[in-house]
């Protein structure tokens, strides 16, 4: 939205409009969903003025009122479903990973969490007919896990028919058996993955804000951002805030980070996929003692929670632990050199 339209809001002059835009408040909707305290702190605007601006933006954007269930159903039809390209897992998840939601994947080391984020960075770019969302990916890497070579493997591992469709859609001459054409296709896939390495928790929070800016820049392009992968969400928070004395501050910062990600997903119809580390619960005498870290804050923020568990060889159990509209259940997949595959 052009800056001069923000000046139509009461109390917003050219200088205030510049402050708002510089701090990511570029549209009525992004202003409407902010809190006065947040706007006051980030954009250096008095809290009373921020409250007036937000109320005006809510009225202009028609945000914050009640709506009928039928209207909610109509709006939910805009939500996209990103396929895993594994029928059993897609059935478990009601079609795949949803946009405008946070999907959390947790599991122990080597369970395949990073493999899922890499695979979704590829799958999101596929045509909707092939289970994709025809969009780009933002990859926030906190554990130095992103590997372009893995993207190369996974693109090559796609079905030949899908590869041929992608070459045609991206106007690449050749066939999947043509080495030069495949190299060009792989480079095209990598071009739509925007990677940033998070060096600490504060930097990770900043990258979420930058991701919102990047999503806004790409919103009207041929490749809008349709998934944000954070691998892993909790590693830095876990390492930097040690002991019970720092637990409250850790959870407060994690909560803000999750709300930034949720807002990004809502504003730009983007899927948010986060991986999470686990800890062993010594009080568990029966069943699997593995539990996700992050506490209730992450548990409540995640719309879908998926537990990955190692099985025999390259098999992995995908267990849906929590979802608002789906029954708990399990599916089986394999982690191979060419990516995630059916059992």
Asked whether residue 113 is marked as a ligand-binding residue, the answer is: yes
Residue 269 is encoded by which pair of tokens?
């119809």
Closest by CA to 319, choosing from 292, 283, 285, 293, is 292
Residue 10 is encoded by which pair of tokens?
């009461």
Asked whether residue 312 is marked as a ligand-binding residue, the answer is: no
Per-residue pLDDT tens digits for 153-167: 999 999 999 999 999
Asked whether residue 35 is marked as a ligand-binding residue, the answer is: no
Percent of the chain residues topping a pLDDT of 70: 95
Q: Which residues contact 336 (CB under 8 A, 6 or more apart)?
A: 157, 314
* Stated pTM of the model: 0.82
Residue 280 has pLDDT above 70, yes or no: no
The Cα 39–Cα 33 span in angstroms is 10
Asked whether residue 40 is marked as a ligand-binding residue, the answer is: no
Asked whether residue 109 is marked as a ligand-binding residue, the answer is: yes
Per-residue pLDDT tens digits for 98-139: 999 999 999 999 999 999 999 999 999 999 999 999 999 999
Per-residue pLDDT tens digits for 10-36: 889 888 988 888 887 878 878 887 888
Asked whether residue 111 is marked as a ligand-binding residue, the answer is: yes
The Cα 63–Cα 283 span in angstroms is 45
Residue 129 is encoded by which pair of tokens?
């007919």
Per-residue pLDDT tens digits for 191-201: 999 999 999 99
Asked whether residue 112 is marked as a ligand-binding residue, the answer is: yes
Per-residue pLDDT tens digits for 40-69: 888 888 999 999 999 988 888 766 667 788
């Amino acid at each position: 939205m052009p800056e001069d339209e923000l000046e139509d809001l009461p109390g917003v002059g050219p200088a205030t409009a510049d402050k708002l835009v510089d701090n990511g408040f570029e549209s009525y909707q992004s202003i409407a969903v902010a809190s006065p305290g947040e706007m006051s702190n980030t954009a250096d605007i008095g809290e009373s003025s921020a409250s007036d601006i937000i109320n005006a933006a809510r009225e202009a954007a028609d945000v914050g009122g009640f709506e009928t269930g039928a209207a909610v159903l109509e709006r939910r039809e805009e939500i996209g479903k990103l396929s895993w390209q594994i029928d059993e897992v897609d059935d478990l998840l009601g079609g795949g990973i949803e946009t405008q939601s946070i999907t959390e994947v947790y599991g122990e080391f080597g369970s395949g969490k990073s493999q899922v984020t890499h695979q979704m960075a590829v799958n999101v770019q596929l045509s909707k007919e092939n289970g994709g969302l025809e969009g780009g990916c933002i990859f926030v890497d906190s554990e130095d896990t992103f590997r372009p070579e893995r993207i190369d493997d996974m693109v090559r591992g796609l079905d030949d028919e899908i590869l041929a469709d992608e070459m045609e859609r991206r106007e690449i001459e050749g066939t999947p058996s043509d080495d030069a054409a495949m190299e060009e296709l792989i480079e095209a896939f990598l071009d739509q993955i925007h990677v940033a390495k998070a060096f600490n928790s504060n930097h990770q929070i900043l990258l979420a804000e930058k991701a919102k800016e990047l999503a806004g820049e790409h919103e009207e392009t041929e490749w809008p951002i349709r998934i944000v992968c954070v691998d892993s969400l909790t590693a830095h928070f876990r390492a930097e805030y040690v002991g019970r004395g720092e637990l409250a501050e850790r959870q407060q910062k994690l909560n803000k980070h999750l709300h930034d990600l949720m807002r990004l997903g809502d504003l730009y119809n983007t899927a948010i996929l986060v991986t999470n580390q686990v800890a062993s619960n010594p009080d568990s005498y029966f069943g699997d003692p593995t539990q996700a870290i992050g506490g209730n804050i992450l548990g409540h923020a995640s719309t879908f929670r998926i537990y990955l568990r190692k099985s025999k060889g390259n098999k992995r159990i995908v267990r849906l632990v929590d979802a608002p509209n789906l029954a708990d259940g399990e599916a089986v997949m394999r982690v191979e050199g060419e990516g995630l595959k059916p059992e």
